[in-house]
Amino acid sequence: MLGVDVGGTFTDVVAFRDGRVTVTKVPSEPSDPARPVVEGGRRLGVRGSAVFNHASTAGLNAVITRRLPKVAFLTTEGFRDILVKGRLWRPLDAQTDASWRRPFGDCARPLIPRYLRRGVAERILADGRVMTELDEDHARRQLAVLGRCDVEGVAICLLNSYVNRTHEERLRELTLEALGPEVPVSISSETSPLAKEYARASTTVIDVMMKLMFVGYAGELDQQLRALGFTGELNFADCAATLMPWRDALAQPFRIVFAGPAAGTTSGARLGEAIGEANLICCDVGGTSTDVSVVQSGRPFVNDTFSLEHDLIINALATEISSVGAGGGSIVSISPAGDVVVGPVSAGADPGPACYGRGGTAPTITDACLLMGMLDPDGFAGGEMRLDEERARMAFASLDTPLSLHDRVAYAYRIAVHNIAEEVANVAIRHGADLRDFTLLAYGAAGPMLLPAALEQLQAKRVVIPPHPGLFSALGLLATDLVYYDSQSAYMVLTHEAAPRIANIFETMEEKLRGRVQAAADADVTVRRSFDGRLLGQSWETPLVEVPAGPITAATVQQMVDRFHDEYERRYGNRFPVVPVQGVTYRVQLVVPVDKVEYDGLGAGDPGGGVTPAEPQRAELQRAELQPRPQRTLELRYLEDEPVQALEYEREGLAVGTLLAGPAIIREGLSTTFICAGQRAEVGRLGEISIEAAR
């Protein structure tokens, strides 16, 4: 089994074969994204592999940078500006800022410029009745304009089409007649048949853009992997880290726009189960950002929508993840007031940090950690890249500030740690979580180097560094199932009388999904039903409330109400049982089980620590005998006024039960762990490193 996580800076590839994990890391290439994926597969060997599971943030990066295909938007006449109005929500820090503008508005960076957003004469009412028939002549005139503009794809979202799709379907036919059958067209009644037109419109626009981005890429990737001898299934992960065969994924590619971080959360939940940690704050610190998510009672928080930017909503199941611009590639700059600032801008993979020697001149956190002595200039990225300390020093020296070099580097490191800690605290507060009851799971290439320094500030139980932290998200792609799902909106108060209508909705969706799942006849498919509900009068929903198995009866509806109140209390800490519950969206998932990595089987013979399945007993016997042998003593600069001495260890040489005292550095192929002064670390039975304050 192979998994690949395509990030903005590196492409991480992991293989699990014969009980062993092998890993590699390849610099990402935005101009040719398939090349590093294929190169990683070539290094690890794809011949004979059963699956190749793929996750990528390419879609998210394209939206953020606006490197998007030229797409048009057709909607009901008079409503072409719904894409730039959004939900009219402002971020907290802009509540009183009169100059704030929505990032995707016409005065900023719209996804689709106004001249390509066209209205068509038609109108369907909320109950599905047609008030105004589709004016086909008017539609053809609008399409003629789009044809002269050479658009590459078209998104169609008409008002209330989620209850009556006839006008959208006919408009798609007219679009293909006018622009040609090769032009991708997405209609909202198929892409996202849910209430609330703005979220449905933005989802449909992203869907057609992702079709243009991923269809050629996925086909080329599959072809090149086959040329290397791969004969298994190529699967794409979605925003909740569940898998789909790549051709099914391209039927609704908005679901794969932001997949990598969710795989890390899934991997964290599986590891937490194996080591007995049910409450985790997962921190994926990569080259561009830190992605923070919560696992509570062994379950990640999954929502029915997520935002690519503030108020840019996508209707897709997604693991709840918050991001902050603090990663290894985050650029260090000086504000107009003279303050040291870290992020949110990143050096990315090209040109990368100054120490990469690829033309970057701005200092980054990677440059800071190199100058501090934490990073080994000769062993970075598994030894494939040599870091240049002099370029890093020159980058910091170029900052326009009277601060000394010592203060520039020290402040950059401390601010990066603080930014990460602040985001972790904010996420915990939003969930009403007491950090003293949670363990921080640090992964991503920079996570083990930065998170231990935040432990004292956050007062969490401990920091855990998993095996293979630099590729932990990619490993999560080998620990999840194939999942097919469908959803449908229907507003109704959950009373006994609603049971027949709810039953009909679920039965229709399940029948439709079973027609798509080829393996249904051969595999033990699990059916999961859920709904998004709200307290009557609320304008927002609590997503993914589980629906009991079996026929939908009056008793089932009462159980749905009870479970809604349970989930509401779990998420928000309050319970209002006297308020009626209104169902909004109903969802069916068909889970097709596949072979997965078992975390109990990961071991010390692999790079990154742990014990091999064949020798746990021998490792236990060695616990009392084996003393850790440092490779050398390092001098860490800029942490304190004077240099600090720290011992350096190789992770693969640490046996189960090994105890280390900080300050210390633990090296492995694709990551570096820093144990601060006043901390102690212990190697667990799966090779995980637990770091706590020394008692």
589-634 residue pLDDT tens: 988 877 777 776 554 434 344 333 334 444 444 544 457 788 899 9
Using alpha carbons only, give the angle 457, 458, 459 rounded to the nearest 5 degrees. Answer: 100
491 lies in the same domain as 582? yes
Range in 250-264, 540-554, 557-571 the model is least confident about: 250-264
Average pLDDT over residues 43-47: 90
Average pLDDT over residues 648-674: 90
Which residue in 52, 470, 464 sits closest to 269, CA to CA? 464
Dist. CA 246–CA 266, nearest whole Å: 20
Q: Chain centroid to CA 556: how far?
A: 34
* Phi, psi torsion values for 541, nearest 5 degrees: -110, 155
In this prediction, residue 479 carries a pLDDT of 83
In this prediction, residue 615 carries a pLDDT of 44
Which tokens in the block code for residue 51? 């699956």
CATH no. for residue 75?
3.40.50
Of 545, 561, 592, the residue at which a domain comes to its end is 592
Angle between helices 166-179 and 136-148 (to 10 degrees): 40
Helix (H) or strand (E) holding 588: strand 581-592
pLDDT band for position 472 (cuts 50, 70, 90): confident
Helix (H) or strand (E) holding 394: helix 389-397
The answer to whether 586 touches 496, Cβ cutoff 8 Å, is: no
**What is the pTM for the complete model shown?**
0.80
Of 544, 561, 592, the residue at which a domain comes to its end is 592
Q: What is the number of structural domains in the chain?
A: 3
128 lies in the same domain as 209? yes
Q: Is residue 114 part of a domain?
A: yes
Tokens 């102690």 found at: 680
Helix (H) or strand (E) holding 267: helix 260-275
Which tokens in the block code for residue 147? 């044809």
* One-character DSSP codes across 297-313: TTEE-EES-EEEETTEE
For residue 310, give every residue at least 6 positions away whose Cβ sits within 8 Å of its Cβ, in sequence order, or none: 89, 91, 102, 103
Tokens 């996580």 found at: 5
Q: What's the count of helices (H) and strands (E) in the chain, helices before strands?
A: 18, 35
Q: Is residue 7 part of a domain?
A: no
| Per-position b or e across 615-648, b if 16+ CB within 10 A of its CB | ebeebeeeeeeeebeeeeebebbbbeeeebebbb
646 lies in the same domain as 578? no
Dist. CA 530–CA 486, nearest whole Å: 11
Question: Is the model's pLDDT at 312 over the cut of 60?
Answer: yes
Q: Is residue 476 part of a domain?
A: no
Angle between helices 58-65 and 197-227 (to 10 degrees): 130
φ/ψ bin of 368: left (φ > 0), alpha (ψ from -120 to 50), beta (otherwise): alpha
Tokens 């923070």 found at: 292
Share of the chain above pLDDT 70, in %: 95
* One-character DSSP codes across 72-120: EEEEETT-TTHHHHTT----GGGTT-TT---TTSTTS--SS-GGGEEEE
Work out the number of other CB atoms within 10 angstroms of the CB of residue 461: 18
Q: Which amino acid is at 547?
A: V
Q: Which amino acid is at 310?
A: H
Domain membership of residue 103 as a residue range: 69-216
* Torsion on CA atoms 348, 212, 252, 300, rounded to nearest 10: 0
In this prediction, residue 518 carries a pLDDT of 62
What's the pLDDT tens digit per position in 345-364? Answer: 888 767 889 999 888 899 99
Angle between helices 34-44 and 197-227 (to 10 degrees): 50
In this prediction, residue 22 carries a pLDDT of 86
Which tokens in the block code for residue 610? 């742990």
Q: Is residue 128 part of a domain?
A: yes
For residue 246, give every residue at least 6 positions away whose Cβ sits within 8 Å of its Cβ, in sequence order, or none: 54, 218, 222, 234, 235, 236
* Phi, psi torsion values for 174, nearest 5 degrees: -65, -35
For residue 158, give the DSSP letter: -
In this prediction, residue 385 carries a pLDDT of 78
Range in 6-10, 237-241, 310-314 the model is least confident about: 6-10
Q: Is residue 88 part of a domain?
A: yes
544 lies in the same domain as 656? no
494 lies in the same domain as 540? yes
Of 157, 186, 216, the residue at which a domain comes to its end is 216
Q: Is residue 386 part of a domain?
A: no
Q: Is residue 675 part of a domain?
A: yes
Which tokens in the block code for residue 16? 């699990």
155 lies in the same domain as 209? yes
174 lies in the same domain as 206? yes
Average pLDDT over residues 335-353: 85
Who has greater pLDDT, 183 or 525? Answer: 183
Mean pLDDT, the chain, whole residue set: 88
666 lies in the same domain as 573? no
Question: Is the model's pLDDT at 575 over the cut of 60?
Answer: yes
Average pLDDT over residues 270-295: 89
The answer to whether 679 touches 456, Cβ cutoff 8 Å, is: no
The set of long-range contacts for 174-181, using a CB threshold of 8 Å and a minimum separation of 24, is 174/136, 174/139, 174/140, 174/143, 175/74, 175/143, 178/140, 178/143, 178/144, 178/146, 178/147, 179/143, 179/146, 179/147, 179/151, 179/154
Q: Is residue 431 part of a domain?
A: no
Dist. CA 607–CA 605, nearest whole Å: 7
The answer to whether 512 touches 323, Cβ cutoff 8 Å, is: no
Tokens 């089994």 found at: 1
572 lies in the same domain as 626? no
138 lies in the same domain as 191? yes
Dist. CA 142–CA 460, nearest whole Å: 58
677 lies in the same domain as 561? no
Alpha helices in 433-495 (DSSP H): 447-450, 455-458, 472-476
The answer to whether 289 touches 247, Cβ cutoff 8 Å, is: no
Who has greater pLDDT, 153 or 27? Answer: 153
Which residue in 518, 529, 488, 531 sits closest to 592, CA to CA? 518
* Phi, psi torsion values for 120, nearest 5 degrees: -125, 135
Helix (H) or strand (E) holding 17: strand 10-17
End-to-end CA distance of the chain: 42
In this prediction, residue 522 carries a pLDDT of 52
Strand ordering across the sheet containing 644-650: 632-636, 644-650, 664-668, 671-675
In this prediction, residue 520 carries a pLDDT of 47
Question: Is the model's pLDDT at 207 over the cut of 50?
Answer: yes
* One-character DSSP codes across 26-85: EE--TTSTHHHHHHHHHHH--TT-SEEEEEE-HHHHHHHHT----EEEEEETT-TTHHHH
632 lies in the same domain as 557? no
Tokens 């090994």 found at: 658
Using alpha carbons only, give the angle 95, 100, 101 rounded to the nearest 5 degrees. Answer: 125
Work out the number of other CB atoms within 10 angstroms of the CB of residue 269: 25
CA distances, 380 to each of 24, 25, 377, 525, 662 (Å): 12, 11, 6, 44, 22
